[in-house]
Amino acid sequence: ELYIFNGMDYGKPMSILLQSHIFHKATTIIGPHGSGLANMIWLDLDRAGSTCAQRPKVLEFIAGSDPALVKNGVTAGPFVGYHILFRGLPIDFHNILYTSNSTSAATFINLEALDLALDDMW
């Protein structure tokens, strides 16, 4: 099942309870760094088991060290992602860097990098 999360439930902000139910069932989360992705805190880590293959998978899009990203207001500094907060948990964590044409209004990723990351995840 694919669920496209936007934080809304029929045009109204989604309750924390509903967010926790959605993300608790997730086996894979893919998206940009932000508050929506922080819902990975609700992942069912008991389901992770003892092997990496059983772990929930997360692919986070983040800013790299490209000075243009700082200038364009995408980030205040390089490599800010959730891995630093969640690194001790049994999560198969991956990152893709935004491309240099990203701005604070729109972010972009390299589709070849996405393809490689998805291949690595599965």
Q: Percentage of the chain surpassing pLDDT 70?
A: 88
What is the predicted pLDDT for the residue at 85? 79
Alpha-carbon distance of 113 to 60, in angstroms, equals 12
In the chain, where the domains are located: 8-121
C-alpha neighbours within 13 Å on the C-beta side of residue 3 = 17
| pLDDT, tens digit (0-9, with 9 covering 90-100), for 44-95 | 988 877 677 889 999 999 887 776 666 666 665 555 678 777 888 899 999 9
Neighbours of 36 (CB within 10 A): 16
**Whether the predicted pLDDT of 43 surpasses 90:** yes
Q: Judge whether residue 110 has pLDDT over 80.
A: yes
- Helix (H) / strand (E) element for 115: namely helix 111-121
Question: To which residue do tokens 């989604």 refer?
Answer: 14
The single residue listed with the structure tokens 């008991």 is 46
Q: What is the pTM of this model?
A: 0.85
For range 96-115, the mean pLDDT: 90
